[in-house]
Structure 1
C-alpha cells in the first residue's frame, strides 16, 4: 500500500490565518463576517473540484469522451453550533452538489457512478475518519 501525505501550515495574524500549501501557495482564511475565504468555502471548493477531476480522470481511464464538466456546490451551516449551542453541530449540516457533464457517450452514467464511489473528498465528507490533534502550549514573556 502506498500512502500519500498532504500537508498545510497555518499561522494566525490579525483577523485571519495565513495558510501555506506546497511550500509556496498562500491562502488567507477568515471567519464568518470577514472578507477572507472561509474554511467551509475551502472545504466545498475542494469537494467540488475533486469530484469534477475524478469524473475527468475516470472518463479518460475508460475512454469516454467528455466535452465539459462544470458544477456548483453548497453547504448549509447553522452558526448556533459554532457559537456553542450544544444541540447543534458546529460544522456543515448538508452538502449539495450540482454537476453538469457534457457527453454523448453511452457509458457516461457508468463514469458518473464510479466517480461518486471513487472521489476522495466525497469519501472524506461522508465517512468518519480518524482525526488526531496534538496541542503544544508555549509560555510567552
Structure 2
C-alpha cells in the first residue's frame, strides 16, 4: 500500500483558529476559552484513533467486540507555553483509560496489537520529523 498523506487547512479568526479537515470545520481556541484547545482536539483524535484501532484489529481477527469506551487525559504545564525555557510547552503526560465489552478470550491479544499499531499513540510516543515553513505578507 502506498504512503497516505493527511491534510488540514486553517486560518486565524479573531482569537480562535478555524481549521478545515475534509468538509468539517473546527473552531479551536486558546486555553480558557469556550472552544476546545488544540491539546483537547489532539487528545480527542488520539482517543478515537485507539477506539477505532481496537475495532479494526478485533474485526481483522474475527473477535466479537460489543462496545469500546474510553477516557483520555493529558497534562500540560502552561508555564512552558508562556515561555519558561525549563518546561516543555506541550503535553507532558497522556493517560488512556479504556473499557472493552467482549467475551472473546483473544481480547488481550487484540489489545496488545492495538497498543502496538495505533497510529496516534505511536505518533505521541516517538520522535516525528516536522517541517515548518512560512511566508510573511506585507499588508
CA distance in 1, matches of 2:109, 2:13: 47
Q: TM-score, normalising length from structure 2?
A: 0.98
**Equivalent residue of 1:109, what SS?**
helix
* 1:117 corresponding residue in structure 2: 116
Runs (4+) of structure 1 exceeding 3 A deviation are none
* 2:134 corresponding residue in structure 1: 135
CA distance in 2, matches of 1:65, 1:133: 43
Which sits farther off after the overlay, 13-22 or 77-86?
Answer: 13-22
CA distance in 1, matches of 2:67, 2:31: 33
CA distance in 1, matches of 2:13, 2:49: 30
**In the alignment, structure 1 residue 30 sits paired with structure 2 residue 35:** no
Unaligned runs of 5+ in 1: none
**Equivalent residue of 1:110, what SS?**
helix
Q: TM-score, normalising length from structure 1?
A: 0.97
CA distance in 2, matches of 1:131, 1:125: 13
CA RMSD, 1 decimal: 0.7
Alpha-carbon deviation of 1:134? 0.5
* 1:85 corresponding residue in structure 2: 84
Unaligned runs of 5+ in 2: none
* 1:65 corresponding residue in structure 2: 64
